[in-house]
Structure 1
Amino acid sequence: MDLPRSFTIREGDLRILNPYSPEKLATLGQVIRLRPGMSMLDLACGKGEMLCTWARDHGIRGTGVDISTAFLEAARARAAALGVADRVGFVHADAATFVADEPVDLATCIGATWIGGGVTGTLDVLDRSLRPGGMLLVGEPYWRLDPPDQETVEACYARSKDEFQSLPDLVRLFGDRGWDLVEMVLANQDSWDRYAAAHWLNLRTWLDDNPEDELAAELRRELTDDPARYVRYVREYLGWGVFALIKR
């Protein structure tokens, strides 16, 4: 059980594996009012940057879960570098079925709602590990503009227009599922740019170093096509944010 190697190549040495800047990640930790000793479960945690920096900055403790062995290795190294390895741990497991040993104060899934088959299912997955009155964080794309055709939809990583919501519809969905939206921190086009463009440099650097690799042709096509697709479609049509929810 692991992610395809192309994921680790594309992400390279990035620490935040979504369209967030370090400043936005720090803002999120501040506005949800983290306190020392709070417990956190981060499903599909990637390289663990959120858990590690919040443990350092706010004194929380917690567990990150991911299927990528490479990402988890980076997460453990980051925890050691920040001096928080005694407060955070990382587990190689399927986030879709993982349940915390004890209910947590904060359960999160940032940019990986595929673990529950979409937003609704992921709320249920997270809720299994949440204490009564605890908080969920969900990171999810949304339509900034209504996509005019299927070409735009597919260029924005969706199979159908219904795979993502508009921001008002996403907020309404949370309420319909019985959750109060109590905070949100949204990415902007600049933070999208930083994330997308970092992939291009990672791909080019890897291709220069590995021209004969079996993945070279596939990743060469991606690097050729992705910048134009991103500026034409993703940058204009797709938003992204993290939403803090407490059950009614």
Structure 2
Amino acid sequence: MDLPRQFTIRESSHRVRNPIDEAKLATFGAALRLPPGSSVLDLACGSGELLCTWARDHGCTGLGVDISTVFLASARARAEELGVASQVSFVHADARGYVASAPVDVAACVGATWIGDGVEGTVSLLRQSLRPGGVMVVGEPYWRLPPPDQATIEGCDALHSETFTSLPELVERFGALGCDVVEMVLADQDSWDRFEGPKWLNLRRFLDANPDDDLADEFRAELRTAALNHVRYRREYLGWGVFALMDR
């Protein structure tokens, strides 16, 4: 059980594996005003930047769950680097259906709502780990502008675009689930650039070092279109946000 190599190579230099950059992640953590000792469960935690930096900055404790052994190794190294290894831990597991052993103050899934087959299922899953009065944190894309054609959808790599809505419609969906949106931080075009741009350099350097790798042809084809698709489609049409939700 692991992620395909494509993902770990493409994002080999990333600390935050979504377009909420490190500054925005810090802004969001501060906005939640978490008391020291708050417990956090982060499903599909990636390299653990949320848990590790919030443990350092706000005294949180937490558990991260991810399917990628490569990302988890980075998360554990980051915890050591920031001096929070005693506050956070990480487990290699499929986040689908994962429920904390004890209720937590914050239950998060930032950018991986596929673990619940969408927003509704993910909110339902997070609720199972949340203490009364706790906060759910959900990261999700939305359309900044309505996509005019199929080429735009494909250029945004919006594989599940049928579930994407506008930002107002996404907030309405949260409300229909019985949640108040109590905070949010949205990606902007610059943070999209900082998420997408490093992938291209990672791929290029991998190809230069491994020209005969099994993935080389796939990555060469990707590099031919990645930057153009980003500036023509994703940067203009696709939004992304992290939302804090509390049950009514």
Q: Shorter-normalised TM-score: what interval?
A: over 0.9
Q: What CA distance in whole angstroms lies between the structure 2 residues aligned with 1:223 and 1:101?
A: 43
Q: Give the root-mean-square deviation of aligned CA atoms.
A: 0.9
Q: Residue 215 of structure 2 aligns with which residue? A: 215
Q: Residue 153 of structure 2 aligns with which residue? A: 153
Percent identity among equivalent residues? 64
CA deviation string 1:143-187 (max 9, x = no partner) = 000011122122222246432110000000000010000000001
Q: What CA distance in whole angstroms lies between the structure 1 residues aligned with 2:112 and 2:161?
A: 18
Runs of 4+ in 1 over 4 A off after TM superposition: none
CA deviation string 1:66-100 (max 9, x = no partner) = 00000000000000111100010000001012110
Q: How does 1:59-98 map to 2 (within 5 A)?
A: 59-98=59-98
Whether contact under 8 Å (1:100, 1:129) holds in the other structure is yes
Q: What CA distance in whole angstroms lies between the structure 2 residues aligned with 1:159 and 1:93?
A: 24
Q: Residue 122 of structure 1 aligns with which residue? A: 122
Any stretches of 5+ residues in structure 1 without a counterpart? Answer: none
Q: 1:144 aligned to 2:116?
A: no
Q: Residue 16 of structure 1 aligns with which residue? A: 16
Q: 1:70 to 1:159 in 2, by over 3 A?
A: closer
Q: What CA distance in whole angstroms lies between the structure 2 residues aligned with 1:246 and 1:190?
A: 29
Q: What CA distance in whole angstroms lies between the structure 2 residues aligned with 1:149 and 1:139?
A: 25
CA deviation string 1:113-146 (max 9, x = no partner) = 1111111111111111011110000001100000
Whether contact under 8 Å (1:150, 1:161) holds in the other structure is no
Q: How does 1:142-221 map to 2 (within 5 A)?
A: 142-159=142-159, 161-221=161-221
Q: What CA distance in whole angstroms lies between the structure 1 residues aligned with 2:6 and 2:120?
A: 28
- Using structure 1 for the length normalisation, give the TM-score: 0.98
| Count of matched residue positions in the alignment of Structure 1 and Structure 2 | 248
Tell me the SS of whatever aligns to 2:72: helix
